[in-house]
Amino acid sequence: MDGITINTGKSKQIVKLLNALPERLGNLADRAVEQEMEKAVQESVSLASRFEDSGTLAGGIRLVKKRRFFTFASTAPYAAALEFGTGAYLRIPAGYERMAAAAKGRVRATNGVSAKQRIYAWAERHGIPQRKKFFIYRRIMRYGMPKWGATAVVPHFLPAYIGAKNRIVRRLKGLLTRAINGNS
């Protein structure tokens, strides 16, 4: 699995609300979306920092604006594995099957570092004896990544995005209500 990406322009609910707003409220709406997506990045970085100790995951969370929409990405090579799990531990939230499918099977060496090297480095940082590292590596490669202490398979990306999406929809509906009532 590789990094994961979400584009706010793919949310039918957000696009529909943005299109329904009068042009005079466009800047307010754009600012509301931007503020909520920036909050999502902060939340995602905070969650990632709690569950991954090398800093690669939190450091790879990005937000890129293109016109009215944002691309929210977690670029760490193992971001999808930590978000959805692997093997027998795979858990995909309803509605996000396409995103998980896009990341499926894209495990590769990144910057010349293989999955084996990453797992061994993790084991080293956690003080696991050399003789046990291979068994951990083999188990993960065969069965997936179980919940082990601080590196549990815990979503860091979707909870932040879903929270931001819900806040964006609430704020845009509020702007639309104000526009309809003439209180802009």
pLDDT in tens, 122-175: 888 889 999 999 988 888 877 776 655 444 556 788 888 888 989 999 999 998
Could you tell me if residue 39 is inside a domain?
Answer: yes
Q: Which of 59-63, 96-100, 128-132 has the highest mean pLDDT?
A: 128-132
- 132 domain-assigned: no
**Is 127 among the domain residues?**
no
| Overall pTM surpassing 0.75 (yes/no) | no
Structurally, the chain folds into a number of domains equal to 1
Give me the domain span that covers residue 52.
Answer: 4-107+150-181
Determine, yes or no, domain membership for 59: yes
Residue 157 lies in a domain: yes
Closest CA to 2 of 162, 143, 161, 157: 157
Q: Is residue 128 part of a domain?
A: no
- Secondary structure (3-state) at 21: coil
Alpha-carbon torsion 145, 82, 152, 10, what sign? Answer: negative
Q: Which residue has the tokens 């931001």?
A: 164
63-91 pLDDT, tens digit per residue, is: 888 878 888 888 887 788 778 777 777 77
Q: Is residue 83 part of a domain?
A: yes
C-alpha torsion angle, residues 1, 49, 111, 85 (rounded to 10): -10
Report if residue 168 sits inside a domain: yes
